[in-house]
Structure 1
Amino acid sequence: MDTYTFATSRQIDFPVCVKINTLEGKQTTTPHTVLLKHPEIRHVGSVQNPHSELYVTAQLWAESKPLGVSMQTPHLFFKNNRTWNKWMELPVQIKDCPISSQIAITIWDISPCPETGSLDHAIPFGGTTISLFGKDGALRKGRQKCKVYRREAADGHSPTRTPHVPRPKRRKPNEPPPPIIAEEVELERLEQLFKKHEMNEIPQNDWLDQLVFQNVGKKAREVEEAARQRSSACKLPKRRAPITNGSNGQAIQDDESSSGSESDDEERFTLYIDFPRWDFPVIFEDFGYEPSRLMKEFSSNLSGSVLSPKPQPEVRYGPGIAAGTTVVDDEEYPIVQIFDPEQFQRENPCESKHRRLVRSDRNAFSDSDQKPNAKMRDELNEILSYGPTQELSAQDKDVIWTFRRHLSREKRALTKLVKATDFSNPNEARQLVELIPRWAKIDVDAALELLGPTYDNPVVRAYAVDRLRQAGDAELQLYLLQLVQALKFEKYEQTEEGLPSASLAKFLIDRAANNFILGNYLHWFLMVECVDQGTDTNAMNRRLFSRVEYYFMLELEKRNPDLRKILLRQGELITIISSISKDIRFSRTNRLQKIEMLKKTLADPKNDLLKIDPPIPLPLDPEVEICGVYPDEANVFKSSLSPLYLNFRVASAAEGSSASTQRSQTHGKYPIIFKTGDDLRQDQLVIQIITLMNNLLLKENLDLKLTPYRILATSPAAGAVQFIPSTPISAISTKYKGSVLAYLRANNPDVSGPLGVRKETMDTYIRSCAGYCVITYILGVGDRHLDNLLLQPSGHFFHIDFGFILGRDPKPFAPLIKLCKEMVEGLGGTASPQYAQFKQYCFTAYTTLRKSSSLVLNLFSLMVQSSVTDIRLMEEQMGMFGGAVGKVRERFNLDVSEEEAVRALDQVLADSVNAVFGVVIDRLHEFVQGWRA
Structure 2
Amino acid sequence: MKANCYKDDASSVEDSLKPTLDRMIDLIVDSLSGEAKDFYEKEFGFFGEVTSISGKLKPFIKKTKPEKKAKIDEEMAKIHVEVGVYLPSNPDGKVVDIDKKSGRPLQSHAKAPFMATFKVRKERVTVITEGAETLGDDAQEKEIVEEYDTWQQAMFKVGDDCRQDLLALQIIAMFKNIFNSVGLTVYLFPYRVTATAPGCGVIDVVPNATSRDEMGRAKVNDLLDFFVAKYGGEDTVEFQKARLNFIQSMAAYSVACYILQIKDRHNGNILIDGEGHIVHIDFANIVALFVAFTSWIKFEPNSFKLTHEMVVLMGGRYSQGYQLFQQLTVKAFLAIRPHVDQLVSTIQLMLDTSLPSFKGEPTMKRLKDRFVPGYTERQAAEFMMSIIRNAHENVRSTAYDEFQRLQNGIPYK
TM-score range, shorter chain: 0.7 to 0.9
Amino acid at match of 1:812: K
Q: 1:922 to 1:681 in 2, by over 3 A?
A: same
Write the distance in 1 (CA, Å) between the matches of 2:12 and 2:159: 18
1:776 alignment counterpart: 257
1:892 alignment counterpart: 371
Gaps of 5+ in 1: 1-525, 657-665, 876-880
Amino acid at match of 1:906: M
Amino acid at match of 1:820: T
Write the distance in 1 (CA, Å) between the matches of 2:75 and 2:20: 37
Q: 1:682 to 1:633 in 2, by over 3 A?
A: same
Equivalent residue for 1:795, pick from 260, 276, 279: 276
- For residue 630 of structure 1, give the secondary structure of its aligned residue in structure 2: strand
Is contact 2:212-2:268 (8 Å) kept?
yes
Give deviations 1:425-466, integer Å, cap 9, x for gaps.
xxxxxxxxxxxxxxxxxxxxxxxxxxxxxxxxxxxxxxxxxx
Equivalent residue for 1:848, pick from 335, 341, 347: 335
Write the distance in 1 (CA, Å) between the matches of 2:319 and 2:57: 49
Following superposition, the deviation at residue 740 of structure 1 comes to 1.0
Is contact 2:51-2:202 (8 Å) kept?
no
Following superposition, the deviation at residue 563 of structure 1 comes to 5.5
1:541 alignment counterpart: 17
Write the distance in 2 (CA, Å) between the matches of 1:784 and 1:751: 27
Amino acid at match of 1:544: T
1:707 alignment counterpart: 189
**Given the alignment of the two structures, is residue 593 of structure 1 paired with residue 75 of structure 2, yes or no?**
no
Higher deviation after alignment, 717-726 or 919-928: 919-928
Write the distance in 1 (CA, Å) between the matches of 2:189 and 2:254: 13
Write the distance in 2 (CA, Å) between the matches of 1:633 and 1:840: 42
Which has the larger Rg? 1
Is contact 2:267-2:410 (8 Å) kept?
no
Residue pairs, 1:676-715, within 5 angstroms:
676-715=158-197
Following superposition, the deviation at residue 814 of structure 1 comes to 2.5
Amino acid at match of 1:741: L
Is contact 1:788-1:799 (8 Å) kept?
yes
Amino acid at match of 1:650: V
Give deviations 1:671-704, integer Å, cap 9, x for gaps.
0111112111111211121122112211222242
- For residue 649 of structure 1, give the secondary structure of its aligned residue in structure 2: strand
Residue pairs, 1:654-665, within 5 angstroms:
none
Following superposition, the deviation at residue 793 of structure 1 comes to 3.3
2:389 alignment counterpart: 910
Following superposition, the deviation at residue 550 of structure 1 comes to 4.3
Amino acid at match of 1:826: L
Give deviations 1:226-282, integer Å, cap 9, x for gaps.
xxxxxxxxxxxxxxxxxxxxxxxxxxxxxxxxxxxxxxxxxxxxxxxxxxxxxxxxx
Q: Considering Cα pairs closer than 8 Å and 6+ residues apart, tell me whether 1 or 2 has the greater RCO.
A: 2
1:529 alignment counterpart: 4
Following superposition, the deviation at residue 721 of structure 1 comes to 1.2
Q: 1:564 to 1:778 in 2, by over 3 A?
A: farther
Gaps of 5+ in 2: 127-147
Q: 1:824 to 1:536 in 2, by over 3 A?
A: farther
2:136 alignment counterpart: none
Following superposition, the deviation at residue 841 of structure 1 comes to 0.9
Write the distance in 2 (CA, Å) between the matches of 1:564 and 1:697: 42
**Given the alignment of the two structures, is residue 576 of structure 1 paired with residue 45 of structure 2, yes or no?**
no
Amino acid at match of 1:616: V
Amino acid at match of 1:644: F
Equivalent residue for 1:901, pick from 377, 380, 389: 380
Write the distance in 2 (CA, Å) between the matches of 1:819 and 1:894: 25
Paired residues, number: 380
Write the distance in 2 (CA, Å) between the matches of 1:567 and 1:702: 42
**Given the alignment of the two structures, is residue 619 of structure 1 paired with residue 92 of structure 2, yes or no?**
no
**Given the alignment of the two structures, is residue 635 of structure 1 paired with residue 108 of structure 2, yes or no?**
no
Following superposition, the deviation at residue 713 of structure 1 comes to 1.6
2:403 alignment counterpart: 924
Following superposition, the deviation at residue 552 of structure 1 comes to 4.7
Q: 1:671 to 1:751 in 2, by over 3 A?
A: same
Give deviations 1:142-166, integer Å, cap 9, x for gaps.
xxxxxxxxxxxxxxxxxxxxxxxxx
1:747 alignment counterpart: 230
Amino acid at match of 1:788: N
- For residue 274 of structure 2, give the secondary structure of its aligned residue in structure 1: coil
Following superposition, the deviation at residue 751 of structure 1 comes to 5.4
1:859 alignment counterpart: 346
Write the distance in 2 (CA, Å) between the matches of 1:855 and 1:635: 39
1:727 alignment counterpart: 210
Give deviations 1:543-601, integer Å, cap 9, x for gaps.
222334445557x749xx75565443221112212333222222485431332232233
Write the distance in 1 (CA, Å) between the matches of 2:39 and 2:381: 49
- For residue 629 of structure 1, give the secondary structure of its aligned residue in structure 2: strand
Following superposition, the deviation at residue 858 of structure 1 comes to 0.9
Write the distance in 2 (CA, Å) between the matches of 1:836 and 1:681: 36
2:144 alignment counterpart: none
Residue pairs, 1:307-706, within 5 angstroms:
526-532=1-7, 540-553=16-29, 557=32, 565-587=38-60, 590-604=64-78, 607-608=79-80, 611-613=81-83, 615-639=84-108, 640-653=110-123, 668-706=150-188
| TM-score between the two structures when normalised by the length of structure 2 | 0.83
Q: 1:581 to 1:917 in 2, by over 3 A?
A: closer
